[in-house]
Amino acid sequence: MTQFDAAVAAVEAAIAAGARYADARVMHRRTESMSARNGDIEELEQNEDAGVGVRALVGSGWGFYAVPDMSDAAARAAGERAAAIAAASATVAGKAVDLVGSTPATASWASTCEVDPLSVPLSDKGDLLVRVTGDMHRAGGDQSTALYRIWDTHKWFVSSEGHRIDQHVRECGGGISTTVIGDGETQRRSYPSYRGQYGTRGWELINELDIAAHGERVVDEARALLTAPLCPSGETTLIVGGEQMALQIHESVGHAIELDRILGWEAAYAGTSWLDLTQLGSLRYGSDLMNIVIDPRIPGALGSFGYDDEGTAAAPRDAVRGGIWVGVLAGRDSASAAGLDYAGSVRADGWARLPMVRMTNVGLEPGPHTLEEMVAATDDGIMMDFNRSWSIDDRRLNFQFGCEIGWEIKGGKRGRMLRNPTYTGIGPKFWQSMDMLSSESLPWGTPNCGKGQPGQVGHTGHPSAPARFANVRVGVRS
Amino acid sequence: MSELDFAGRIVEMVKAAVPDADTEVSVDTTALALTRFANSMIHQNVADETTTVRLVTHLDGRTVASTTTVTSDEALGSFVARTVDAVRIAPLDPGWPGLTPAAALATSGTADESVVNATPADRAARIRAFVDAAGGLTTAGYCRTRHTHAAFANSAGHAVAGSTAEIAMDGIARTGSSDGSARAASAFLSDVDGAILGARAAAKARAGDGAVELSPGRYEVVLEQTAVADMLQALAMFGFNGKGVNERQSFLEAGAQQMDAAITFVDDAISPGMIGLPFDTEGTPKQITTVVDAGRTVGPVQDRRTAAQAGTQSTGNAIAMAFGAFALNLSLRPADGDSVTEADGPAADSSVAALVARMSHGILVTDHWYTRVLDPRTLVMTGLTRNGAWLVENGEIISPVRNFRFTQSYPQALGPSSVIAVGTHAIAVPNNYSQASFRCPALHLASWNFTGGASG
């Protein structure tokens, strides 16, 4: 029995049990992660999971059931359970659910991968982490860590409309970080970011990062931060570095344009959105420099795929064009509820979770400037980069970010380091103050996006570049 | 085959392949069902039942941990072989603490049949009651049932098994401009009443309509149980974690009077009615661990690895992650007092209302939201209020206020002479991202640092 056979059996059983639509995903996923601290391996984990998840639509209610068993009998039983669960939803029913069209495809897709990360010997991978963290610890990094993570996922998707799609996605990434302990506080520096950089790529991504070459600098910066002056409090011109910009996009744009949030489907937990669908196409989100694109096709970016978990082919779409809000992240049911005609942004965290609206690659198109030009054009301001903390309200408006490092900018030059830099603002006001944007774009990967109940972890990509913002409140502290 | 037999069988499979290896096996079968509603209708309704095997093998100074959900005979053989192959070439692990010796459990846990056998109809009925009790307000939330049967066995001859079950409900009611929430969790199905929670959420939402924006600054606060649970989560993750203490990234100092004398924190998964397994992922039996006793720090919770580094014993708080030791069942002891009843107005219950009645000028806070650490050592957190906040003057709720952002050191807020009163009614608060079950009363605190308002 093939994986497709199991998916077909599950879908057939759900339809036979009364579903008017059903789909099934068989998934097999292997993961591996390793971390080291101060020259010793701290954790080596290898995981494998596999199963079938069935989604059934009965009336206006969805039902979902998943089992870690791909036998014909188990798959059929799962389909029947999904339909029965959907029927129970009728106790508290609402408007009928419709799905926007999705061309039934028979297709295969695989991410590109030069070096299979699971084939690299554990000893080589371990030696790298041990050596780098040992060197960093000896250089003065009190708690110096390095990690990598690998995901190797096969999916087989079948729907009652005729989809039959298999995909093989390999994801990989990692990084280094050090924490130094001062008198009553800690300082942290990381490379290329706290959790590392990730993509739908192979071990070549880790090789390109060359983490060993950055350990000593990271430690030196962390130690220097212990005695650096505090980030001043007040309003100033702020230059946000590319790594922090990726999170700024993720939190204050990516989540805000999720259609399930806009429709109130996530109101109780993840929250809603400040965006109102009646303003789609006319609302000013940011300055003219702000162009946000949803694009799951970017080679190597973490949010890339061939088809989403509803079988919709990957396609680019504008979310913000010239500062005007023009698009959303949608699924087939949410798009129908909103009167839109496109989907393509639905994914699930494994076979045992219900697919839901998730970011793919949501990125800022590059601008006309360089970081050097932005600094030179700033008479008095602060630059911050490398996220240390993040918090935003349930409508995705009021945010506060802390960064690992800041720099004073005076007279067009980057000067002394500043410790504990933070900035806060209101999303549209902040984005409308963006007056310079760099062309130096990178597709940052975020492997830890939480959403949904039961909780799901999503992998998202965010092309971003340094940008400058006017009159930003900085230096918030306890 | 029971989880315990299953675990023992895998220990034997590894022993046959590498007789000298230290081996520990956890087998966990969890059935999770969650019915979710939004816009006053059920829109997501999911369930799965999954057995997960976790195998840790230590050989010649090297350690590998592997998990799988693929449990056919052939797949398990391959799983064991892969793990054994990996451990031969894994990097050295000098921190390996050795295996847990045989020890008896204090309890086998509570997995009440009413929760184990709960149906989609049981969950939907509670949601129907929540929606109806909200009296026409828009509602959203979930009702979840979950039960776990788990076993642990190792090559040192230690083998234990236990169970746990939980029903949890968490919902909001919404006016056009305000949300109110209510939530509850229990080991027993009948303890969670959708009608009570729906009415409470609706009362909060209605009392929150027309909120005004107040200036940021330091205010006295009454934090309801739902907000206090967020403090427990942060303290459990960062402050009370033995690894954080070992790495000097925690504020905790054993023997010091670091908190107000009204504050006692214990980790307790084994008292009757608690939600949690009776052993940790290293097989160590759970115990009742006092972390802070009447404000005086006793010490953090430990797993075997952090305990070995600290020269002490595991407290049964391993969670199978390099993260360290986690107080999954952290409880803040309530003050002695009368039994609790529902309250009129926005206060969650009569114990909260009693705290509000003693506040001269301050803010009543329902929930914290999106809290994150600014500095782990001082445990300075930033986050926002959510689902209702009110200005209180002379013991009276005067007006709903718009959400604040705060930037506040949690241990400082609980410091000596900072706690005006502890509520008399502790509840188990549903947790969204782990099997943690935090239990706490409301708190009346002398000062909370609100650093921003709704407008920025």
Residue from A34, A35, A89 whose CB has the most chain B CBs within 10 Å, to mutate: A89
Q: Compute the distance between CA of residue B327 and CA of residue B236 in angstroms, rounded to an integer.
A: 5
CA of A263 to nearest chain B CA: how many angstroms apart?
Answer: 9
Containing A437, the helix (H) or strand (E) segment is: strand A434-437
Residue from B39, B45, B251 whose CB has the most chain A CBs within 10 Å, to mutate: B45
Q: Compute the distance between CA of residue B88 and CA of residue B82 in angstroms, rounded to an integer.
A: 10
Select from B402, B165, B319 the least CA-distant residue to A45.
B319
Strands B296-297 and B427-429: unpaired
Six-digit token pair at A373? Answer: 């030009």
Phi, psi of B85 (to 5 degrees): -60, -40
Please give the pLDDT value at position A194.
Answer: 86
Q: Compute the distance between CA of residue B220 and CA of residue B445 in angstroms, rounded to an integer.
A: 6
Contact status, residue A438 vs residue A370, Cβ threshold 8 Å: yes
* Cβ-based neighbours of A340, under 8 Å, separated by 6 or more: A100, A259, A328, A330
Select from A39, A226, A209 the least CA-distant residue to A136.
A39
Please give the pLDDT value at position B310.
Answer: 97
Contact status, residue A34 vs residue A22, Cβ threshold 8 Å: no
Phi, psi of A153 (to 5 degrees): -120, 125
B432, pLDDT greater than 90? no
CA of A117 to nearest chain B CA: how many angstroms apart?
Answer: 15
Residues of A in contact with B432 (CB under 8 A): 269, 453, 455
Would you tell me which residues 174-193 of chain A have a C-beta closer than 8 angstroms to some C-beta of chain B?
179, 181, 184-186
Number of Cβ within a 10 Å radius of residue A252:
25
Would you tell me which residues 135-174 of chain B have a C-beta closer than 8 angstroms to some C-beta of chain A?
138, 140-142, 144, 170-172, 174
10-residue averages of pLDDT along chain A (478 residues): 96 98 98 96 94 94 95 97 94 90 96 97 95 98 98 98 98 98 92 95 98 98 98 97 98 98 97 98 98 98 98 98 98 97 98 97 98 98 96 94 97 97 97 98 97 96 98 90
Tens of pLDDT, residue by residue over B56-85, are 999 999 999 999 999 999 999 999 999 999
Six-digit token pair at B93? Answer: 């692990």
B454, pLDDT greater than 90? no
Contact status, residue A143 vs residue A222, Cβ threshold 8 Å: no
How does DSSP assign B97-163, residue by residue? --PPPP---S------HHHHT--HHHHHHHHHHHHHHTTT-EEEEEEEEEEEEEEEEETTS-EEEEE
Q: Which residue in chain B is spatially nearest to A59 when comparing CA positions?
A: B43
* Cβ-based neighbours of B382, under 8 Å, separated by 6 or more: A389, A391, A400, A402, A422, A476, B371, B372, B374, B405, B406, B407, B408, B451
Helix (H, G, I), strand (E, B) or coil at B422: strand
* Cβ-based neighbours of A142, under 8 Å, separated by 6 or more: A178, A179, A180, A181, B247, B248
First to last CA, chain A: 60
Number of Cβ within a 10 Å radius of residue B107:
15
* Cβ-based neighbours of B346, under 8 Å, separated by 6 or more: B180, B203, B204, B207, B208, B364, B366, B388, B390, B397, B400
CA of B344 to nearest chain A CA: how many angstroms apart?
Answer: 23
Select from B411, B422, B444 the least CA-distant residue to B256.
B411
Taking phi over 0 as left and psi of -120 to 50 as alpha, with beta for the rest, A332 belongs to alpha
Please give the pLDDT value at position A130.
Answer: 96
Give the domain ranges of chain B.
3-207, 217-452
Number of Cβ within a 10 Å radius of residue A185:
17
Six-digit token pair at A272? Answer: 């809603």
The type of residue at B271 is S
Percentage helix, strand, coil for chain A under 3-state DSSP, each rounded to 5: 25, 40, 35
Number of Cβ within a 10 Å radius of residue B256:
11
Six-digit token pair at A462? Answer: 């965010």
Residue whose token pair is 């230690």: B158
* Cβ-based neighbours of B215, under 8 Å, separated by 6 or more: B453
Contact status, residue A433 vs residue A292, Cβ threshold 8 Å: no
Is B90–A123 a contact, with Cβ atoms under 8 angstroms apart?
yes
Residue from B43, B369, B387 whose CB has the most chain A CBs within 10 Å, to mutate: B43
Contact status, residue B225 vs residue B440, Cβ threshold 8 Å: yes
DSSP state of B339: P
Q: Which residue in chain B is spatially nearest to A71 when comparing CA positions?
A: B72
DSSP collapsed to 3 states, B207-221:
HHCCCECCCCEEEEE
Please give the pLDDT value at position B453.
Answer: 85
Residue A421 vs residues A403, A427, B62, B216: alpha-carbon distances, Å: 6, 19, 41, 20
Is B82–A84 a contact, with Cβ atoms under 8 angstroms apart?
no
| Buried/exposed B227-240: b ≥16 CB within 10 Å, e otherwise | bbbbbbbbbbbbbb
Q: Which residue in chain A is spatially nearest to B75 when comparing CA positions?
A: A48
DSSP state of A258: B
CA of A299 to nearest chain B CA: how many angstroms apart?
Answer: 30
Contact status, residue B414 vs residue B401, Cβ threshold 8 Å: no
Say whether residue B92 is in contact with chain A using an 8 A CB cutoff. Answer: yes
- As for the ipTM of the complex, it is 0.94
Handedness of CA B59, B62, B65, B70 (dihedral sign): negative
Six-digit token pair at A189? Answer: 């520096």
Helix ranges, B18-72 (H):
none
Q: Compute the distance between CA of residue B239 and CA of residue B325 in angstroms, rounded to an integer.
A: 11
Residue from B238, B375, B406 whose CB has the most chain A CBs within 10 Å, to mutate: B375
Containing A30, the helix (H) or strand (E) segment is: strand A21-37
Say whether residue A62 is in contact with chain B using an 8 A CB cutoff. Answer: yes
For residue A88, give the nearest of B45, B49, B89 by CB distance: B45
Residue A416 vs residues A229, A231, A242, A406, B269: alpha-carbon distances, Å: 8, 11, 20, 8, 50
Q: Compute the distance between CA of residue A177 and CA of residue A145 in angstroms, rounded to an integer.
A: 5
The type of residue at A223 is R
Number of Cβ within a 10 Å radius of residue A235:
11
Q: Compute the distance between CA of residue B231 and CA of residue B224 in angstroms, rounded to an integer.
A: 11
> pTM to 2 decimals?
0.96
Residue whose token pair is 């520990």: B24
DSSP state of B340: P
Would you tell me which residues 97-126 of chain B have a C-beta closer than 8 angstroms to some C-beta of chain A?
119-121, 123-125
Q: Compute the distance between CA of residue B410 and CA of residue B403 in angstroms, rounded to an integer.
A: 19
Please give the pLDDT value at position A94.
Answer: 87
Residues of B in contact with A356 (CB under 8 A): 44
Would you tell me which residues 362-381 of chain B have a C-beta closer than 8 angstroms to some C-beta of chain A?
369-378, 380
CATH superfamily of B3-207: PmbA/TldD superfamily (3.30.2290.10)
Q: Compute the distance between CA of residue A474 and CA of residue A295 in angstroms, rounded to an integer.
A: 32
Q: Compute the distance between CA of residue A175 and CA of residue A189 in angstroms, rounded to an integer.
A: 11
